[in-house]
Structure 1
Amino acid sequence: MKKYLQTSLKWFLTIAVFQFVSVTDAAVRTDAQGGGFLGKTLMADSGQFDGNRIRDDLENNGMLVSHRITGHSGMEWPKGSHKYINFASGIWIAGKVGGDIRTAVGEYGPEFVAGPWGSESGGSEHQLYIVNKADLADPLASDDFQNWPADLGAPWVDVDEDGVYSPMPAGPDHPDFVGDQVIWWVMNDGDIAEHSIFHTLPLGVEVQMTLWGYDRPDAFGDMMFVKALIINKSGQDVDDTIIGLWADPDLGDAGDDFVGCDVDLSLGYCYNDGADADYGSDPPAIGYDFFQGPLVPCEEADIADSTNTDCQPGSPGGLAYGTRHAGMKNLPMSSFTKYINGDPVYSDPNDAIEAYNYMSGILGVGTPFVNSETGETSLFVHADDPNNNTGVGDGVWVDSDDHASGDRRFLMNAGPFTLAAEDSQEVVFGMLIARGSDALTSVTALKVADQLAQLAYDIQFALPESPVTPNVTVGTTGDAIILSWDDGVNAAESYIAEDVIDKLPVPVAFDTTWVTDITFDVSDDTTIVGPDTTITSDTTFSFIQVIDQIDTTFEGANTSFTFQGYNVYQLETSSGQGAKKRIATYDLIDGITEIFDDVFDPTYGETINRRVQYGSDSGVKRSITIDTDGLNAGIPLKTNRAYYFAVTTYGYNPYGIPRTLESATSIMEIRPQIATTRGDAVTSSGTSSIDATHGAGASDGSVRAVVIDPYAVTGDEYQVSFHLNADSSALVW
């Protein structure tokens, strides 16, 4: 089996379901210093990422978050809440050709156009391609699955290794998935008419974009990841190239935001000034992270710097295109800058020089940013943690030291480097959202989530699969709700997911010998076996050290998550916003009950060890009858009132970080009511049982049927038979 993608990098992706909004641009390109730009008709296409708790409007022209589709902020979080966290965002590329600055940016409008460099028409092949992992079950239902543009560079799995994309079900091949939703598109900046933001000539780049996310209940459900493959098609070197991530993050109310960065994490972020009119007293924080910056040669200073691990002798080097490159390093975030809507000094850039200045870590007017706490210049604006801020003069440089909260934009950048003719660069970054108990603990939560995201990148997103969400059937009476999930339980309860992050303990033996006449072993909890009084100076000790933290040497065997049980939740809203209560847990009878783990607690603003699963060796059940309101003091359910429930599957890995994985939360709106087509359930009630009559055979076994939904009982007779399977190795029914 072979996997194909641009420049042979192994990538797995995720995409969102979208709605087409197509416009046709008839733009005539003019020659630009021998570039030979041709007249083209190109299609702009918009779509939507909605693969987890983020809903994001985007376009295939550099606008990763687009306000142009709806007229309001382009990113909603949580999905379905009608609360918005990011107005607009895009990727910026700037560099110098012959000493002149050129740009290709996605801001409030695009300087990119759809399609690969030199494309002749704006056909449908230049669209956003959106696929979901669920499409594997019904690949014919997805046009994008069937028409996946492998020939343009979209990553795919060549199952039959013939080099030709032959999609399922007629063939064996499929798009390459890393998460649960993937979007892919290609764009270029060759249309000079589209360079209307900073009014430069085209850089001459083609950019292949992959965007993906994970539908999980943990922190990964609040992240989007992006890979950009940037190819210089101009025939000329682009010197002093800088790649920027630009954002206008209106976090709820646009007028009360602050920004900052964490240099060690390569993280730039936006947080609220206290409570927010939209998000309330606990507004989230949003951040961007460069997980993989541009790949550049190591310099002497890098080798002398022991903290620069990529450049140390014997190091495999920086990462790009799925492989390590000795003698090379990945550039981290090189600067973080802010500007403020309406500010006379910290203003939006008006031309290419001002834009390039901001991308270089200085003000648009060309003067440096000055740390108001130290008086020193800085490329990283507000790099101190706002949780440590006590006011002006405390040595902690935060946004509020210099300006009142307001409508912020920021640019986080990586560079400069030379993008040689026909050369390419691959960068990977992410957008992350986290929520604490208030604006400041949300920043702490964001940094914790960012470290998890970094770990995912470090293993090239080979995350263990989440458990399967149960297929729930709903029944109701006038005052009760009946949930059952018998269908598809084999997939849920046979869940096993290999975990390449967390390894089995690696024994390390220490043997100190004086005289070998007596040997005492040490158990795996490092307790010496044998009475202490027998230990003398002529004793050999053999110690086994048990590693209980992540094995970063990757020497131990992989571990696995396996099925452990089901959780039933009641929620306050259909979006998951508001209160959430676990009303039942049904787990295996195997001695594994309550599961504790280290998690970030928003109340305390720090990581604590707490209970995360509430098993009790109850035994697995696949149904529940609910007749009380768990969110309202257990009062009886009311007829025709909307209630919100979800059933999840959870798995367990005693060595895992985290130790438990849970399936996505599929929220159901249910109203207790009696359907008009139903008669009275006079012969059975919910949870009643029916004993079977043993009609034949000598077995002393018995069968008992349990009624889940009395209104679904048909009155028919059923027969249960037992027999050996085809090879007589097991008894089946």
Structure 2
Amino acid sequence: SNFERTFALLNVGNWEYFVRNDGVQAQQPNGLAGGIFPKNTDVVVYQSGLIYGGFVVDIRDTAAVRLRVGGSTYGTGLQPGRILVPGTATALPVYGSPDEKNQWRIRRDWQQLQIGDSILIREAALQNPTNNETQIITDAMQQEIIDQYQLDWETWPVEWGAPFIDHNQNGVYDVGTDEPGIARADQVIWQVVNDAAAFDLYLSPPIGLEIQETFWTYNSEHFPFDQLIFMRYQLINKSGLRIDSMFVGQWCDSDIGKFVDDLAGCDRELSLAYGYNGNSYDVDFQKLGLPAPAAGFQVLQGPVVAANAGSDVNRNGIDDISERAVYNFQQTSPGFINLPMTSFAGLFNTSDVPCFCYDQTLQYYNSLNGYMHSRIVLPQYIFLGPSNGMPTKFPLDGDPIARTGDIDGFLFPPSDRRWMVNTGAFTLMPGDTQEVIFSAVGGIIDADENMSRFSVQQLKRNARVGQYFARNLFQNPFQPGPPPDVRVSEQSSKIVLEWGTNQDVLTQIESAEAAGFYFEGYNVYQLPSPATPKSRAKRILTFDKANLL
């Protein structure tokens, strides 16, 4: 499609993650991998995107293909823009122009940005790739980033559905009182896309879906939230037709540094799928003096469906009929639930070679259902453990740290890995909206030892925080505790900081626990002057517990 492709970068947390205005994720403007964790290091995600599929009851054209799949993998069936006029039983929807601006990015502290800031220099380099060995980053490049933040803040499209923080809680966006954004995030990307280009992906006709996508993240002051990127997809059925047996998934080609030695797995309890390095170290991360991280995607809030008495579909130990689902950060009436991860699909490097043909519509829909990536319905199987050979929708859900259960790397050696984390099924009626929230999660151990698999342990700890955050309706569950009682002694050539005398405060700090996170240590920061904002602090020392976390 002939429209300008724009790239917005999430980079205030510990990720650098590109979002393209046609739904493609984790791809840089130069086509290189664009999911980097920790930021300023190396790649963990080569490419990613939302994928969906369902059966369309097309009363306008009874001969039309019913099963349709769209979204973004190596290609995309999405294009920028809204659907201006919904379809009806007799008329097709009217799609907006893909040339109209559809992508906005904001950060709450944009007014504090200054030319010369390392984050601006780094982003300017990524947004203006060059083949020259020496790249020149100009003041104009950095100023353009600041100016775009200001413009997007001032033109935030609330009237199109972009979220805002309603400080006076009157349900209306009041300029000067309310502010753009979501969940008090430090950085937000919002964009609207539609499926007009669906045929370009896997030869599925367009359905008539408008998808409003919100990505948000937090800075390092909000650890461990800075280890996650939150992704909300609002799927609006503007087709005029019913969509049955619909599933959504987050597809990922995870490349943990060098792409040739990776493995994959899932954790059903956490609704998490992830990739990790298959060796004790990764060559690319080793060059940086780092162990290999792990990276995954997690279903935090699945689609809303009616509950059935006597069921526990979301696996929380409570009868579903007495539950309440969450939609738009608010609870529904009783009798509804949010679906969890309903399957994990491992797509090994020979099973999903792009053909951009209708065969892949069949293959991806089967993968969304938790079956093999095949044109026909074939179950996935447990590879290892006492249930070896049994069919499953959650393969590779063992423990790669303890090397127990069904884990990757035995039947197939480490290599390139692609996979999907899925949720469904649900029905999407004409005019209805479903909301699904995923997160991208990173994990890395703070150790010199070559123990890359332990990054999976940290990944799961971070994923548990995301899950806890979602269950608290995205209100921060981590209440700040007391600050250390620091005593300062100035000496001729040094300053001594001491905070061990006040045992009461020390006990409160070091015994704190939230969402499975416990006290791990202290960071010491330095500021150039008392007037400098905390966001510009430089960490100079860490006192850390010796537990590889």
TM-score, normalized by length of structure 1?
0.57
1:480-629 to 2 correspondences below 5 Å:
501=477, 560-561=480-481, 563-564=483-484, 585=497, 592=505, 595-597=509-511, 612-613=521-522
Match of 1:204 among 208, 222, 241: 208
Compare CA radii of gyration and give the structure with the larger one: 1
2:265 maps to which residue?
Answer: 260
Between the two proteins, the alignment pairs up a number of residues equal to 461
Per-residue CA deviations over 1:282-304 (Å, capped at 9, x if unaligned) read: 21110111010011111244169
Q: Which residue of 2 aligns with 1:427?
A: 436
Q: Is the contact between residue 338 and residue 346 of structure 1 (CA under 8 Å) also seen in structure 2? A: no
Q: Residues 9-20 of structure 1 correspond to what in structure 2 (within 5 A)? A: none
How far apart are 1:622 and its partner, in Å?
Answer: 7.8
Greater helix percent: which structure?
A: 2
Please list, as runs of the form range in 1=range in 2, the aligned pairs for 1:127-166 lying within 5 A after superposition. Answer: 128-135=103-110, 142-157=150-165, 165=173
> Counterpart of 2:247?
242
Distance 1:442 1:117, change over 3 A: same
Amino acid at match of 1:339: L
State the alpha-carbon separation in 2 of the partners of residues 149 and 298 from structure 1: 35
Say whether residues 1:319 and 2:294 are aligned partners. no
**2:522 aligned partner, one-letter code:** Q
Superposed CA offset, 1:416-440 (max 9, x none): 1111111111111100111125222
Deviation readout 1:353-409 (Å, 9 max, x if unpaired): 11111111111223211213321011112011112326xxxxx21111210000110
Output aligned runs, 1:270-289, within 5 Å: 270-274=275-279, 275-280=281-286, 282-289=291-298
Counterpart secondary structure, 1:416: strand
Question: Measured at CA, do residues 130 and 614 of structure 1 come closer, stay the same or move farther in structure 2, by a change above 3 Å?
Answer: closer
Matching residue's letter, 1:213: T
Distance across 1 between alignment mates of 2:300 and 2:363: 26
Question: Alpha-carbon deviation of 1:307?
Answer: 4.5
Change in CA separation of 1:260 and 1:584 when aligned onto 2, cut-off 3 Å:
farther
Answer yes or no: is 1:79 the counterpart of 2:39.
yes
1:109 and 2:75 correspond: yes
Q: Quick one: structure 1 residues 456 and 247, their matched pair in 2 at CA, closer, same or farther if it must change by over 3 Å?
A: same
1:400 partnered with 2:409:
yes
| CA–CA separation in structure 2 for the residues paired with 1:72 and 1:304 | 39
Change (3 A) 1:263 1:180: same
- Segments of 5+ residues of structure 1 without an aligned counterpart are 1-24, 27-41, 391-395, 464-500, 503-558, 569-582, 601-606, 625-646, 650-662, 669-733
Q: 1:57 aligns with which of 4, 12, 18?
A: 18
Q: Distance in 1 between matches of 2:379 and 2:313?
A: 28
- Specify the alignment match of 2:199 in structure 1: 195
Confirm whether residue 447 of structure 1 aligns to residue 460 of structure 2.
Answer: yes
Partner SS for 2:395: coil
Of the candidates 387, 391, 396, which is equivalent to residue 401 of structure 2?
Answer: 387
Which residue identity does 1:351 align to in structure 2? Q
Distance 1:164 1:299 in 2: 36
Query: Which of the residues 299, 303, 307 maps onto 1:294?
Result: 303
Q: Which residue of 2 aligns with 1:517?
A: none
Change (3 A) 1:441 1:622: closer
Letter in 1 for 2:73: E
* 2:475 alignment partner, SS class: coil
Q: CA RMSD in A?
A: 3.5
Q: Is the 8 A contact 1:43 1:114 kept in 2?
A: no
Partner of 2:475: 462
Return the letter of the residue paired with 2:400: P
SS in 1 for 2:202: coil
Letter in 2 for 1:125: K
Aligned residues of 2:341 and 2:423 also touching (Cα < 8 A): yes
Preserved CA contact (<8 Å) 1:585 1:614: no
Against the structure 1 CA distance between its residues 163 and 336, is the aligned structure 2 distance closer, same or farther, given a 3 Å change threshold? closer
Q: Distance in 2 between matches of 1:226 and 1:262?
A: 19
Which whole-Å CA distance do the structure 2 matches of 1:153 and 1:283 have between them?
A: 39
Tell me which amino acid in the other structure corresponds to 1:131. Answer: I
Distance 2:312 2:481 in 1: 40
Partner of 2:189: 183
Give the secondary structure class of the aligned counterpart of 1:309. coil
Assess if the C-alpha contact under 8 Å between 1:219 and 1:434 holds in 2.
no
2:7 aligned to which of 46, 49, 54? 46
Deviations 1:639-698 (A, max 9, x none): xxxxxxxx997xxxxxxxxxxxxx785469xxxxxxxxxxxxxxxxxxxxxxxxxxxxxx
Cα distance change of structure 1 residues 589 and 300 upon mapping to structure 2, 3 Å threshold:
closer
CA distance in 1, matches of 2:500, 2:100: 50
Q: Normalised by the size of structure 2, how large is the TM-score?
A: 0.75
The match for 2:50 is 91
For 1:454, give the aligned amino acid: Q
Distance 1:147 1:614, change over 3 A: closer
The answer on 1:216 being equivalent to 2:215 is no
Contact 2:308 2:321 in 1 (8 A): no
Match of 1:372 in 2: 383
Per the TM alignment, residue 223 of structure 1 is displaced from its structure 2 partner at its CA by 1.1
Contact 1:333 1:414 in 2 (8 A): yes
Residues 664 and 371 (structure 1 numbering): CA distance in 2 closer, same or farther, change over 3 Å?
farther
Identity across matched positions, percent: 26
Distance, in Å, in 2 between the alignment partners of 1:348 and 1:122 is 25
Counterparts of 1:324 and 1:164, CA distance in 2 = 20
State whether residues 597 and 611 of structure 1, in contact with CA within 8 Å, keep that contact through their aligned partners in structure 2: no
| 1:120 corresponds to 2:120 | no
Q: Report the Cα distance in structure 2 between the residues aligned to 1:371 and 1:303, rounded to whole angstroms.
A: 23
Distance change in 2, residues 1:123/1:159 (3 Å): farther
Stretches of structure 2 that go unaligned for 5 or more consecutive residues are: 58-64, 85-94, 114-145, 489-494, 541-549
Cα shift readout 1:167-219 (whole Å, capped 9, x = no counterpart): 4xxx434213422111111111024xx52221110121111111111102532
Task: Kindly state the Cα deviation for residue 234 of structure 1 after the two structures are TM-superposed.
Answer: 0.3
**In 2, distance between residues paired with 1:90 and 1:132?**
23
User: Displacement, 1:597?
Assistant: 4.4
**Inter-CA distance 608–75: structure 2 relative to 1 (3 Å threshold):** closer
How far is the alpha carbon of 1:459 from its aligned partner? 1.5
1: CA distance, partners of 2:390 / 2:380: 9
Structure 1 residue 162: Cα displacement: 8.2
CA contact (8 A) 2:260 2:415 kept: yes
Residue by residue over 1:224-282, the C-alpha shift from the partner in whole angstroms, topping out at 9 and shown as x without a partner, is 11111111110001111010100001110001000000011101010101211111272
Q: Which amino acid counterpart does residue 435 of structure 1 have in structure 2?
A: I
Q: Which amino acid aligns with 2:228?
A: M
User: Offset of 1:120 from its aligned partner?
Assistant: 3.4
Counterpart of 1:302 in 2: which secondary structure?
A: coil
Q: 1:402 to 1:360 in 2, by over 3 A?
A: same
| 8 A contact 1:125–1:149 mirrored in 2 | no
Q: Are residues 622 and 385 of structure 1, via their aligned partners in 2, closer, same or farther at CA, if it must alter by over 3 Å? A: closer
